[in-house]
Amino acid sequence: MKETISCIIPVYNNSETLAGEIKILASFKEIKEIIVIDDCSKDNSLEIMKSFSKPLASKVKILVNRRNLGKGGTVVKGLKLAKGETIFLCDADLSTLSKKYVKDLISAYRTGEFVMVIGNMFPREHLRSWQNIVSGQRILKRSLIEPYLKLIAKMGNGIEQITNFACRDGKIKIVYSKDPGHILKYQRGEGFRATTTAYTKEIWQLIRTELLLEKMRLKEIKRNGVWKIEL
């Protein structure tokens, strides 16, 4: 499967990790474009993004939201501009992203066996199931999620749950690795109040998305019969 890969990175206060991440992703010839979108960051993420605009101008595209759209809305903005048939969604907070990890994700997808490949951290046995649901690193065919763009933009951090739903009828691969460590919200020094608000908003969006998808699942079961997703 040699489809063109477009990588989309939504950014919000990720100045500590962004530079290293872009360099690694840009080193892969399979990734033809990297769309990096700043969602009104309050740190110097935008300056870091702009520093790549000249040396990697042929591959890295910089976008800036005029207002905060949230993760879902930001990714949808990138999807509408992406040229690739295959979409590589990647969080911007990966502190130890490695070339091997990216290569493993791309290689697994290019076998043609899977409609989506999800990258996850290892080992965290007791959290694996939940991490599979919300892990931000995933490669999939863009045509599978295009019918859900309005829903993704509306649900914000529920984007991963929606892509799982969009790929429900196909085979999904989980690639485990200890490489892509995260710098979490509370580690960015944004303050207790801002961090608590961000986590509360994110959790509510995840719950809200899951409730909506459950309604959609029940309607589908009633209409077509039972299906299941294997992770």
123-176 pLDDT tens trace: 444 444 444 567 889 999 999 999 999 999 999 889 999 999 999 889 999 988
Distance (Å, rounded) from C-alpha 69 to C-alpha 79? 14
Distance (Å, rounded) from C-alpha 193 to C-alpha 48? 26
Domain ranges of the chain: 5-224
Q: State residue 128's pLDDT score.
A: 44
Q: Could you report how far apart the first and last alpha carbons of the chain are, in Å?
A: 21
- Triad 90, 29, 57: Cα angle to 5°: 75
Q: State residue 229's pLDDT score.
A: 46
Is 130 within 8 Å of 188 (Cβ atoms)?
no
pTM of the model as a whole: 0.84
Q: State residue 201's pLDDT score.
A: 79
**Does the pLDDT value for residue 46 go beyond 60?**
yes
The token pair at 206 is: 């995840």
- Triad 93, 58, 9: Cα angle to 5°: 20
Instruction: Specify the 3-state DSSP secondary structure of 175.
Output: strand
**Does the pLDDT value for residue 50 go beyond 60?**
yes
Alpha carbon 120 to its chain centroid, in Å, reads 12
Which of residues 193 and 140 earns the better pLDDT score?
140
Q: How does DSSP classify residue 185? A: G
The CATH superfamily assigned to 5-224 is Spore Coat Polysaccharide Biosynthesis Protein SpsA; Chain A (3.90.550.10)
* 137 beta partners: 119
Residue 203: closest CA among 149, 111, 130, 127: 130
